Amino acid sequence: MTTLPDYETLVLERQDRVLTITMNRPELMNAVNLRLHEELAEVFYFAAKDTDSDIVVFTGAGRAFSAGGDLDHILSNATNPELFDEEVRLAKRIVFSMLDLDKPLICRMNGHAVGLGATLALFCDVIFAADTAKIGDPHVAIGLVAGDGGAVIWPQLIGLCRAKEYLLSGELLTATKAADIGLINHCVAADQLDDSVAAYCARLQKNSRNAVRWTKVLLNQELKRVTHSLLETGLAYEAVSIRSEDHKNAVKAMQEKANSKKP
């Protein structure tokens, strides 16, 4: 059996040919710093070549799926925007490695998925969310363009009109609302989340492995075309907005709020 790689910010487990990838910064609600960016840009390539798994489950440790960007990381990028320019390469690798993965990628959305966290959840194939979770992309609330994938994936799932409503406002949706409008597949009681994910994985395993994989590849062809068309432009706009006074002022306010909470 293939040895699972060790990561600083991710935990990998394999059982019954299901590979589970867990973002593991629970004390920070799995907020994404540079190291997690780097490891997410690699882990789905490992998952693709892992001969001992047929299904991949993606989740977060603790009470959140992912709260989005880590505050220290956001501060660093705002002060040194050229760092984000380097991060663009990682962002593209993350998105396309998820789309290129021919195994079913199931999101176990155990808690809030915000900003980049929402993008990571929504680029999965099937999403099961706990009824206590919320999802949204509030890039605009901190003066940023939703360029790291939000503007690509939301319209594909709920249509352009609704995508504009939520991405322009930055509103967070309850898992119940997200399921009702088709943004996610299932909203289940938090204590039933594991059973629901396991039951779906078991159902997939009853089907032909190659038929399942090739059907996913076919379904993703148009999504990959759209992503290739829009992601570069989205990341370029986000790179411009990260240099704006609106973003700098928003980050300053976030920093002051965080400092006020310190003992």
The residue with greater pLDDT, 36 or 76, is 36
**% of the chain with per-residue pLDDT over 70:** 100
Tens-place pLDDT, residues 148-199? 999 999 999 999 999 999 999 999 999 999 999 999 999 999 999 999 999 9
The residue with greater pLDDT, 82 or 216, is 216
Assess whether pLDDT exceeds 80 at residue 85. Answer: yes
The residue with greater pLDDT, 219 or 252, is 219
138-144 average pLDDT score: 96
Assess whether pLDDT exceeds 90 at residue 257. Answer: no
Rounded to two decimals, what is the model's pTM?
A: 0.96
Q: What is the mean pLDDT of the chain?
A: 95
Query: Topology of domain 10-191+209-260, per CATH?
Result: 2-enoyl-CoA Hydratase; Chain A, domain 1 (3.90.226)
Structure-block tokens of residue 50 = 């892992």
* One-letter amino acid for residue 12 of the chain: L
Assess whether pLDDT exceeds 90 at residue 1. Answer: no
Domain spans of the chain, in order of start: 10-191+209-260
Tens-place pLDDT, residues 54-64? 999 999 999 99
Q: What is the pLDDT of residue 255?
A: 84
CA 52, CA 50: separation in Å to the nearest integer?
5
12-21 average pLDDT score: 98
Provide the 8-state DSSP code for 26.
G
245-250 average pLDDT score: 93
Q: Are 135 and 107 in contact (CB under 8 A)?
A: no
Q: What is the pLDDT of residue 77?
A: 86
Give the residue among 181, 1, 150 at the shortest CA–CA distance from 68: 150
Q: What is the pLDDT of residue 137?
A: 97
Tens-place pLDDT, residues 125-137? 999 999 999 999 9
DSSP per position, 74-126: HHHHHH-THHHHHHHHHHHHHHHHHHH--S-EEEEE-SEEETHHHHHHHTSSE
Q: What is the pLDDT of residue 76?
A: 87
Assess whether pLDDT exceeds 80 at residue 261. Answer: no
Positive or negative, the CA dihedral 163, 169, 172, 174 is negative
CA 23, CA 15: separation in Å to the nearest integer?
18
Please identify which residue in the block is written with the tokens 């977060």.
60
Q: What is the pLDDT of residue 19?
A: 98
| Residue 202 pLDDT grade (very low, low, confident, very high; cuts 50, 70, 90) | very high
